[in-house]
Amino acid sequence: MRRLLPTSPAPRAALAGWLLALALVVPAASHAHASINAEFRPADEVVVVKSERRLYLVRDGRPFRTYRVALGLNPVGPKRQEGDFRTPEGRYLIDARNVHSDYYLALHVSYPNDIDASRARGRRVPAGGSIMIHGMPNVLKKPPSFYQSNDWTNGCIALSNDDMLEVWLLTRPETPIEIRP
């Protein structure tokens, strides 16, 4: 089967922007297209369960999509400081979107929250930041199979590019995200 998505970053970013615009228009269609509207209705919440290596998109209190994820290189336990290679745990928001990332699309997670920042201050260490949900690196340094079967990020949550595009289209700014152990 021939792939229809572009493989270089610039066309992919343009395509992602176009698809996002399309996703915003489709829900505004008439009531005759209710089933299409339900399919494109965004998630109310994102839940990541680190021990399962799963990301769930939740709508009306129920998961409606699930994806396999890779985590930080040191995935057990909450992020405590910058450079610990851990994925945070707690409640955050998706507060920014980046089509020009070094990875295929990126959704910024609002880490550190007040609790994380307070803990880091108490330990006199920087809390860190730049936690994202993103796809594969735009420039692969290892074979694709490595990224699909290992935790490889510095603390981010990584998906396949196809899954990342779907998560991108089914989330909106300020979508809550809960990251569980």
**Residue 57 and residue 63: Cα distance in Å, rounded?**
5
Q: How many domains does the chain have?
A: 1
**Could you tell me which residues come within 8 angstroms of residue 179 by beta carbon, excluding any fewer than 6 positions away?**
48, 50, 87, 88, 89, 90, 92, 109, 157
* For range 16-32, the mean pLDDT: 47
Contact between 179 and 90 (Cβ < 8 Å): yes
**Residue 151 and residue 162: Cα distance in Å, rounded?**
18
Residue 132's pLDDT is: 98
Is it the case that residue 29 has pLDDT exceeding 50? no
* pLDDT 10s digits, 67-113: 999 999 999 999 988 999 999 999 999 999 999 999 999 999 999 99
* For range 29-34, the mean pLDDT: 46
Domain membership flag for residue 44: yes
Is it the case that residue 34 has pLDDT exceeding 90? no
Domain membership flag for residue 170: yes
Please report which confidence band the pLDDT of residue 16 belongs to, taking 50, 70 and 90 as the band edges.
low
**Domain range for 117:** 9-180
CATH number of the domain residue 97 falls in: 2.40.440.10
**Could you tell me which residues come within 8 angstroms of residue 32 by beta carbon, excluding any fewer than 6 positions away?**
none
Measured over the CA atoms of residue 177, residue 106, residue 130 and residue 146, the dihedral's sign is positive
* pLDDT 10s digits, 111-168: 999 999 999 999 999 999 899 999 999 999 999 999 999 999 999 999 999 999 999 9
Is it the case that residue 36 has pLDDT exceeding 60? no
Residue 40's pLDDT is: 78
Domain membership flag for residue 97: yes
Domain membership flag for residue 1: no
- Write out the H or E segment, with its range, that includes residue 96: strand 90-98
Contact between 137 and 110 (Cβ < 8 Å): no
Is it the case that residue 63 has pLDDT exceeding 60? yes
